[in-house]
Amino acid sequence: MNVKSCAKINLALQITGKREDGYHTLRMINLPLDLHDVIEITPLSGTDSYITCDDIRLMGLRANLCTRALQALRDRCGFKENFRIHIHKEIPFAAGLGGGSSNAAAVLLALNSMLKLKLSKEELAEIGLTLGSDVPFFLDPKPSVLEGIGEKITPISVKKKYICLLVKPDEGLSTKDVYAACDNAPREKINIDAVIQALADGDDKAIAMNRGNDLYPPAKELLPLIGRLAEELAFAFPISGMTGSGSCLFALTTDLKKAKEAEKHYEKAGYITRLTHVL
């Protein structure tokens, strides 16, 4: 079975608190993208399962989220079957685009179908949340507000058909390091409710004025290039910023010609680029 595993951007990300267990609570707007990996799952007759990937940085990592998703589902349902899971990678790694979480969600959905486990979406989301805060979102990816640690998901309306330019430095950022630095970092001025309304109205100016990412200040301290790149993108594309904990930046526009020109510019400058659109 081959399944698509899409990326996402955080149009806005606001830290709302910190739990006793150390997890930060968030309120954020996730937009799914057409950019996707493909997860190929093949039954095996042997005594073990294998995860492979055409991105060498993920090869041999038994602790990756696909492995954990398979094991979590096995623990829940008790099946004995083994599989080869191959990740055809298109989503940049260590970028804040949710690639690992999306891959895990794809594995949960595919195995639930292949093995006829008959787990509900709510049961899969419960398992997914033990793997990562974004995994439940990717079980049914659509523009949404996520709250808590990702367990509360509310779909929202997006009036315009946005093109999305992604620009990423070669350097990645550790999510753990960014969150560790965020408690003492300044917060951005973010109005999530205003962004939700602006998306429904198609009001680009209001989106740009009210969006933000509380992980951006600590991320640019850890990797100053992010700050310089964000400022440059914002000059050309008002709706732009960093997604997740970085290091990828995004720009939303309805001007395909302008987006293609910018993609060529950043590609020539040595950045990892992708041109896609919001689903």
As annotated, the active-site residues are: 8, 134
Count Cβ neighbours within 10 Å for each residue of 190-200 and write b for 16 or more, e otherwise. bbbebbbbbbe
Instruction: Return d(Cα 79, Cα 119) in angstroms, integer.
Output: 13
Spatial neighbors of 48 by CB under 8 A, at least 6 apart, are 82
Instruction: Return d(Cα 140, Cα 104) in angstroms, integer.
Output: 13
Q: Please say whether the beta carbons of 195 and 211 come within 8 A.
A: yes
Q: Please say whether the beta carbons of 272 and 159 come within 8 A.
A: no
Residues in the chain: 279
- Beta partners for residue 83, in sequence order: 43
- Beta partners for residue 250, in sequence order: 166, 241
Going by their DSSP bridges, the two strands 24-44 and 50-53 should be labelled as unpaired
CB pairs under 8 A, 24+ apart, for 16-23?
Answer: 16/147, 18/183, 19/149, 23/133, 23/149
Instruction: Return d(Cα 235, Cα 114) in angstroms, integer.
Output: 48
Instruction: Return d(Cα 220, Cα 48) in angstroms, integer.
Output: 42
Count Cβ neighbours within 10 Å for each residue of 222-234 and write b for 16 or more, e otherwise. bbeebeebbebbe
